[in-house]
Amino acid sequence: MAAPTTKTPMMKVALYEGAGSEELSAVDRGAILKSLLEKGVAISCIRPGRSVTPPPGGQLLVLGRFNEAKPNEAEGENGVTVRFRDIAGLSVDQVGKIVDEVRGGTPAKPWKPWFPVIDYQRCTNCMQCLSFCLFDVYGAPGGKIGVENPANCKTDCPACSRVCPEVAILFPKYKAGPINGDEVREADISREKMKIDISALLGGDIYAALRQRSTDAKARFSKERDEKRAIAERKACLTKLQQTLQEALDIPAEVMNALPSMDMIKAKAAAAATANS
């Protein structure tokens, strides 16, 4: 996932329908809201008697059908820049262009926020996720496990949640429960795939299976004296094994192909233990 590191001043949009402005039709209001949300903009719908809290040091863009002229720009409290734009007679697209203009363009690429979220009600601080994750998403400052580098996480990969023995790791945008945040049921905890031990997942099963496939392929090769055929068979076996694991665990091929070795896992676990001792 792309790192969420934008340093531009935060902008909040207020769709103003209070005193000194004309009300929008429900259809226009809904269309403007949907369009701006799709652009990644946060909006406050302001009605009579309701104020908005602007982002400190950021900018507040107030859109409305104003009855009187407003300044283009004004200084608000806490260093907030307040900009007013009259949207009377403008189409939804034109309103969107105003917002893009004020915030300095559109984000280059839609960003899918994909990162693990820890349910500390369930987490036992066992550090399996830290030991497992290849990409240093996790850290344990002060001895408490936490998500330190969310931007390092591989989009659509829920692998660390598979090795958590307590079902304490969520990916809110995952398709299925309990990883998506749905209630954790007894069956989830006892389900075999939720209790996968790291050594079984990586050190035991897969490497042992790969070695076995290799041995089998060599045996066949010596019998058949057909190098090309043996290599092709071996590749097919490896691919099938990987596909089986990918389908069972829903781990992207990119991550599956880069799984850590047992030595790497042990080294990370030892480092974490040393840091916490």
Residues that bind another protein (CB under 8 A): 4, 6, 10, 12, 26, 29-30, 33-34, 37-47, 50, 53, 55-56, 110-115, 117-121, 147, 150-151, 170, 172-175, 177, 180-183
Q: Which residues pair with 251 in a beta bridge?
A: none
Q: Which residue has the tokens 């950021």?
A: 58
Q: How far is the CB of 160 from another protein (least distance, A)?
A: 15
Nearer to another protein, 139 or 177 (CB): 177
**Interacting residues of 275 by C-beta distance below 8 A, sequence separation 6+:** 140, 143
Is residue 112 within 8 A of residue 140, CB to CB? The reply is no
- In sequence order, the β-bridge partners of residue 177 are none
Backbone angles phi, psi at 232, to 5 degrees: -60, -40
Question: 16 vs 132, which CB is nearer to another protein?
Answer: 16
Tokens of 248: 């069972």
- What token pair was written down for 46? 């302001």
Closest C-alpha to 67, from 18, 110, 22, 101: 22
Task: Tell which residue, 47, 43, 59, 51, has the closest CA to residue 21.
Answer: 47
Minimum distance from residue 33 beta carbon to another protein (Å) = 6
**Which residue's CB is nearer to another protein, number 29 or number 195?**
29
Cβ proximity to another protein: between 47 and 211 the closer is: 47
Nearer to another protein, 6 or 222 (CB): 6
- Residues 6+ positions from 180 with CB-CB distance below 8 Å: 170, 171, 172, 173, 174
Q: Which is nearer to another protein, 50 or 240 (CB)?
A: 50
Q: C-beta of 57: minimal distance to another protein in Å?
A: 9
Nearer to another protein, 43 or 238 (CB): 43
In angstroms, give the least distance from the CB of 220 to another protein: 45
Q: CB of 118: closest distance to another protein in angstroms?
A: 7
CB of 36 to another protein, least distance (A): 8
Instruction: State in angstroms the smallest separation of the CB of 230 from another protein.
Output: 44
> What SS3 class is residue 185?
coil
Q: How far is the CB of 13 from another protein (least distance, A)?
A: 9
* Nearest residue (CB) to another protein, 84 versus 114: 114
Neighbours of 109 (CB within 10 A): 7
Cα 268 to Cα 263: distance, rounded to the nearest angstrom: 9
**Three-state secondary-structure class, residue 173:** coil
* Other Cβ atoms within 10 Å of 19 Cβ, number: 8
